[in-house]
Amino acid sequence: MAGAGVVPEPTRIMVGVNESTIKGYPHASISSKGAFEWTLKKIVRSNFSGFKLLFLHVQVSDEDGFDDMDSVYASPDDFKKMNRRDMIRGVHLLEYFVNRCHELGVSCEAWLKKGDPKEVICHEVNRVQPDFLVVGSRGLGPFQKVFVGTVSEFCAKHADCPVITIKRKADEAPQDPVDD
Amino acid sequence: MAGAGVVPEPTRIMVGVNESTIKGYPHASISSKGAFEWTLKKIVRSNFSGFKLLFLHVQVSDEDGFDDMDSVYASPDDFKKMNRRDMIRGVHLLEYFVNRCHELGVSCEAWLKKGDPKEVICHEVNRVQPDFLVVGSRGLGPFQKVFVGTVSEFCAKHADCPVITIKRKADEAPQDPVDD
């Protein structure tokens, strides 16, 4: 496609987004929103047609142990319902970002995946081949990092494209910095 | 200044640049040029007034041992000359980037510092407070990294602003990947 017209292809920016640990679905995390708004303000600016945003939300899959704790109390039907509900919630989360892009006239795509977020993001980078990846970060210290996943650090190291990590602003951090 | 007019301040991108290990001064390294061209193509695009590029070139200072080897043969006057010559060469290196910006109509600044590149870049980030930092990388493997400085990794970890590392393209790598 490149070279066919005068206008170059838009720069394709993948943005990894997740749900708020405080407010839950459909609310996006503080760091996801921050990374997205930073991208609009500092990269896209007023060049709305020059960029395409690719929003990826990865939901932790049932096999990752989280839901196993509830399995004593839940029938298989409950699980199906939960998965469907989660999926709908995931779509609602993505809607926030998609709507914001539509308002501005920035073209975008959004999709949902299940799995280990850091692994899936790197896998999707390989598949979709964005020009670069934007991920938010809570900006945790080394002690806090021991106990929580650091998706951004993993992606910065392993994703097969340039990665820009946007740290959450200090004045937006909740009382417990692990929250987001 | 922000808010005084309708037009927002341009996004200020600091770009760390260095000389080619193969061709020497005033030629820029392959990875510096790559990072710069990537920034123009993928970020600045046609929005020339929306960005300001800040080029920083750090020359390893005499105390870092490199020039000590020559001191047996060199008088203090030789050193002064060498330093002046290096400085002029550094300016010529920066000219490449500045000229390219002038051609396009992208505003820019460029300056020269002496010291340990990774330390100086992080220090200058603190002082100048760019919106983000772009650094090139040779994309060396873990074994090769043991023997050479990895300015990009240090900056990605320690610079007090978002950092985007642009790996050199595989087809641009010289026979010895440590060369640049």
pTM to 2 decimal places = 0.87
Q: Which of B46, B132, B167 sits opposite A164 (nearest CB)?
A: B132
Asked whether the beta carbons of A179 and A31 are under 8 A apart, the reply is no
B158 part of contact set with chain A, CB < 8 Å:
no
Is the Cβ pair B163, A164 closer than 8 Å? yes
B153 part of contact set with chain A, CB < 8 Å:
no
Predicted pLDDT of residue B70: 43
Query: Which whole number is the average pLDDT over B73-84?
Result: 61
Confidence class of residue A78 from pLDDT cuts 50, 70 and 90?
low
CA pair distance B167, B93, nearest whole angstrom = 20
Query: Is residue A11 scored above 90 in pLDDT?
Result: yes
Asked whether the beta carbons of A118 and A125 are under 8 A apart, the reply is no
Query: Is residue A4 scored above 60 in pLDDT?
Result: no
Confidence class of residue B69 from pLDDT cuts 50, 70 and 90?
very low
Predicted pLDDT of residue A175: 84
* Angle between the N-to-C axes of helices B151-158 and B117-128, in degrees from 0 to 180, rounded to the nearest 10: 30
Residues 6+ apart with CB under 8 A from B3: none
More confident residue, B44 or B60: B44
Token representation of residue A2: 């490149």
Residue of chain B whose alpha carbon sits nearest to that of A10: B42
Q: What are the Cα distances from residue A28, in Å, to A53, B10, B40? A: 16, 28, 31
Predicted pLDDT of residue B150: 84
CA pair distance A2, A129, nearest whole angstrom = 15
* DSSP secondary structure of B120-166: HHHHHHHHH--SEEEEEE----HHHHTTS--HHHHHHHH-SS-EEEE
Q: For tokens 């790996």, name the residue.
A: B167
- What phi and psi values does residue A25 have, to the nearest 5 degrees? -60, 150
pLDDT above 70 as % of chain B: 82
Which of A140, A157, A163, A164 is the best substitution to test chain B (most B C-beta atoms within 10 A)? A164
Token representation of residue A160: 């097969």
ipTM value for the complex: 0.85
Instruction: Locate all alpha helices (DSSP H) within chain B, ordered by sequence.
Output: 30-38, 76-104, 117-128, 142-145, 151-158
Predicted pLDDT of residue A170: 84
pLDDT in tens, A161-172: 999 999 998 888
pLDDT in tens, A105-140: 999 999 999 999 999 999 999 999 999 999 999 887
Lowest mean per-residue pLDDT among A64-68, B35-39, B122-126:
A64-68
Distance from CA of A164 to the nearest CA of B (A): 5
